[in-house]
Amino acid sequence: MEQTLVIFKPCTIQRGLFGQITDRFERKGLLLAGIKMLWLTDSILDDHYSHLKDKPFFGRIKASMEISPVIVMCWEGIEAVSVVRNLVGPTNGREAQSGTIRGDFSMSVQENIIHASDSLESAAIELKRFFEPHELFKYEMLLLSNLYASDEIV
């Protein structure tokens, strides 16, 4: 099973979309392995968005992520990294297809509802950034045989 990191951005908390967005992950059949609320800081964001540090809008993105607290989650499932990225949709909410989270809830490139890890490697790094090992819970999804074929479960 893969695990991936999702961050509900301040825009999502402010707009009261926590329940509706969480529902997307639950109904897909992903398992919630960890969740917490925290306030992001410049130093966490310098690491988390280091691939954007030379962009002119880097300061603006960081400021938007520090407006209010965020909620971070670890979702688990087979191929969870790509499954979650597909649920989320492309960066620009205006271009994201209807049916995706960004396509249904965002009109913006920046205010685009959630962050999701883009590869298995970044998921591992990002999960370590936000969760201590004891904050990620190992438990069985009792409906596993309703969600996957026996040869899909590893």
Interface residue list for ligand UDP (CB under 6 A):
49, 52, 57, 61, 91, 109-110, 112, 115, 118
Q: Which is nearer to ligand UDP, 109 or 120 (CB)?
A: 109
Q: Which is nearer to Mg ion, 111 or 118 (CB)?
A: 118
Minimum distance, C-beta of residue 110 to ligand UDP, in the bound complex (Å): 3
Contact 30, 86 (CB under 8 A): no
Q: Is 134 a catalytic residue?
A: no
**Of 30, 8, 26, whose CA–CA distance to 17 is shortest?**
8
Q: Which is nearer to ligand UDP, 18 or 137 (CB)?
A: 18
Query: In whole angstroms, what is the distance from residue 105 CA to residue 9 CA?
Result: 12
Query: In whole angstroms, what is the distance from residue 12 CA to residue 120 CA?
Result: 25
Q: Pick what 112 binds: ligand UDP, Mg ion, none; C-beta below 5 to 8 Å, kind-dependent.
A: ligand UDP
3-state helix vs strand vs coil in the chain, percent to 5: 45, 20, 40
Considering only residues 63 through 122, tell me which ones interact with Mg ion, judged by CB under 5 A. 118
